[in-house]
Amino acid sequence: MDESAIPWTTHREFALKAALAKAKDAASRHKNAIVIGADTIVCLDDEILGKPKDIEDARRMLLMLRGRAHIVITGVAVVRLRRTGTENVLPGLRSRFGGVGMDAVSTRVFFKRFTQGTLERYLKSGDSLDKAGAYGIQGIGERLIHHIEGDYFNVMGLPLECLLNLLGNFKEIDN
């Protein structure tokens, strides 16, 4: 999915639209399923820090974040295809969806003023290359973080309480 083609005016809107696009894409391949889509972004000032292109891009992002606070937003979308059986369905993906639920969670993350050595060890681990903002809160990445205000699971990439609330609109869930 080309996220650069998603129109948005706020970071929250972008995360929600990206999550919905992922969920719709997966739901179109799985009939009679409830599908979850999620997209996590790292926001520093007015910039969205996505996954780094390479190790130098990861270094640039982590140096931008060092000693500063930023916001992590995860958009979550739950989509269920309508059970249509053999009946005719109007053309187009939209007409096939029996339900959509969406929400987003924001968490404020405060980075340490970590040393160059800490940065290089983290980059050498390879952990930075597949994560928005070039870091993960779990594992070795926790060494970069001073503290957070909000949902730890959001920073990991899937805010569980939010997901359970959305799924409760589709199925009865004890939480």
Q: What is the CATH number of the domain that holds 79?
A: 3.90.950.10
- pLDDT, residue 30, reads 82
Catalytic residue among 2, 25, 39, 54: 39
**Comparing C-alpha atoms, which of 157, 174, 175 is closest to residue 36?**
157
All residues at 6 or more sequence positions from 9 whose CB lies less than 8 Å from its CB, including other chains: none
pLDDT at residue 119 in the model: 96
In a domain, 115, yes or no: no
In this structure, the dihedral spanned by the alpha carbons of residues 42, 13, 3 and 19, taken in order and rounded to 10 degrees, is 90
**104 lies in which domain range?**
3-52+69-110+147-167
Whether residue 134 lies inside any domain: the answer is: no
Q: Residue 77 and residue 104: Cα distance in Å, rounded?
A: 9
In a domain, 7, yes or no: yes
With a cut of 50, list the residues of the chain below it in pLDDT.
86-96
In a domain? residue 45: yes
Q: Is residue 141 part of a domain?
A: no
pTM of the model: 0.85
pLDDT at 33: 83
Instruction: Tell me how many domains the chain contains.
Output: 1
151 classed as catalytic:
no
Residue 109 is predicted with a pLDDT of 98
